[in-house]
């Protein structure tokens, strides 16, 4: 094979020869396949070939097919191809589940003869979906800024007390460097927290609703950030004979989700931030997270035995953290250092996350 040969729109063979000896090339649909033998480690190989393929408009991965090493290059794109029907359907279903969840938060009466009566709970649904959606859009916008392929947000409709299990976006492309990893990771929590703070402040100015347990929840405990907003606005988090407006619950959900997302482990936002800030030392931090969550659950078990739900919650997240730590965070192609500015923003973001934490998020009515 002549060294200058190669697909007309892909990198030439000679550009790869210092890290990958190509002996065959093939086109498979819109993908380019370079069969050969790597002569360096996979990490070094990726750092060398990734910018070459990206410049040609491709995302590249090293695969092993029937014992042969092959560089598989797929067209790089960051745009939305057509109408994202799956995203749309999941979003509409989540609108319905959050509207239904709001029925009990408002103590509303919905008639089957008048389906539009369900819309009376729209402020709660808008608060929850707005905070979660803005969080994920923060990730999406920064992904587009750094030319990393990512999906639009997928909302998760679940008929729970909040009507949803959150929202996610899927990263389809590699992260070019630590700066991009940090920016994409931090944009979600900061955007979502800003939205949650605004929603909370607005909700505290709305009329309280009738008192009484909601979904068997006797007490919804507020993190320091909500208490600060209430003090700043002069609002009462425990109005006499009533409960705060359910819009405040939307802000509470946003802050609780932000705290969980900022746990510094695996593919969570906190895991990405610590990976960007500390490099491979993130593995040590990630390994400590499950122990911290199990320790918190154990502490509550011996000190506040009545907080059974919180104990179960933190033990559950301890198990999740073990799986996340095993999977690990995303790794950037170029593992360079972050600047002082981003490091300070990272520390500030984790401090905000701690202000969203409460050891016992809620307590249920004793049976």
Q: What is the CATH number of the domain that holds 29?
A: 3.90.1070
Question: What pLDDT does residue 8 have?
Answer: 59
Same domain, 57 and 179: no
Residue 279 counted as domain residue: yes
Residue 5 counted as domain residue: no
Select from 75, 109, 124 the last residue of a domain.
75
Select from 75, 109, 128 the last residue of a domain.
75
Segments in the chain below pLDDT 70: 1-8, 79-82, 111-113, 305-306, 365-367
Same domain, 70 and 106: no
Q: C-alpha angle 351/352/354, rounded to 5°?
A: 65
Spatial separation of the C-alpha atoms in residues 185 and 163, rounded to whole Å: 25
Residue 3 counted as domain residue: no
Spatial separation of the C-alpha atoms in residues 361 and 147, rounded to whole Å: 38
Same domain, 65 and 134: no
Domain residues for the domain of 17 are 13-75
Residue 167 counted as domain residue: yes
Residue 129 counted as domain residue: yes
pLDDT tens sequence across 197-209:
999 999 999 999 8
Same domain, 59 and 103: no
Same domain, 209 and 347: yes
Same domain, 41 and 91: no
Same domain, 150 and 292: yes
Question: What pLDDT does residue 9 have?
Answer: 77
Residue 1 counted as domain residue: no
Same domain, 218 and 296: yes
Domain count, the chain: 2
Same domain, 68 and 177: no
Select from 39, 55, 75 the last residue of a domain.
75
Residue 215 counted as domain residue: yes
Same domain, 67 and 191: no
Same domain, 154 and 54: no
Same domain, 119 and 71: no
Residue 268 counted as domain residue: yes
Question: What pLDDT does residue 3 have?
Answer: 45
């Amino acid at each position: 094979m002549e060294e200058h040969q190669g697909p007309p729109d892909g990198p030439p063979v000679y550009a790869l020869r210092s890290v990958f000896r190509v002996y065959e090339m093939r086109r498979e649909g819109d993908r380019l396949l370079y069969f050969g033998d790597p002569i360096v480690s996979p990490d070094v190989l990726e750092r060398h070939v990734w910018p070459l393929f990206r410049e040609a408009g491709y995302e590249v991965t090293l695969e092993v097919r029937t014992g042969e090493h092959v560089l598989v290059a797929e067209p790089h794109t960051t745009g939305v191809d057509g109408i994202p029907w799956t995203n749309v359907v999941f979003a509409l279903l989540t609108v319905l589940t959050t509207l239904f969840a709001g029925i009990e938060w408002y103590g509303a009466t919905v008639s089957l003869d008048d389906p539009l009566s369900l819309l009376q709970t729209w402020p709660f649904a808008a608060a929850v979906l707005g905070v979660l959606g803005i969080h994920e859009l923060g990730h999406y916008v920064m992904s587009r800024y750094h030319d990393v392929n990512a999906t639009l947000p997928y909302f998760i409709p679940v008929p729970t007390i909040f009507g949803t299990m959150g929202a996610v976006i899927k990263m389809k492309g590699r992260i070019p460097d630590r700066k991009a990893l940090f920016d994409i990771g931090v944009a979600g929590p900061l955007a979502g927290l800003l939205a949650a703070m605004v929603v909370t402040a607005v909700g505290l100015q709305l009329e309280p609703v009738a008192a009484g347990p909601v979904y068997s929840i006797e007490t919804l405990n507020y993190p320091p950030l909500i208490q600060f907003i209430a003090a700043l606005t002069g609002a009462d988090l425990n109005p006499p004979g009533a409960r705060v407006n359910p819009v405040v619950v939307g802000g509470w959900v946003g802050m609780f989700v932000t705290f969980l997302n900022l746990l510094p482990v695996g593919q969570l936002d906190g895991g990405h931030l610590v990976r960007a800030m500390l490099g491979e030392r993130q593995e040590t931090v990630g390994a400590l997270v499950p122990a911290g969550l199990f320790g918190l659950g154990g502490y509550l078990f011996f000190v506040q035995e009545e907080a059974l739900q919180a104990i179960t919650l933190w033990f559950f997240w301890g198990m999740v953290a073990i799986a996340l730590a095993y999977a690990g965070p995303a790794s950037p192609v170029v593992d360079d250092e972050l600047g002082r500015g981003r490091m300070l923003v990272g520390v500030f973001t984790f401090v905000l996350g701690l202000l969203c934490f409460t050891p016992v998020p809620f307590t249920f009515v004793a049976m």
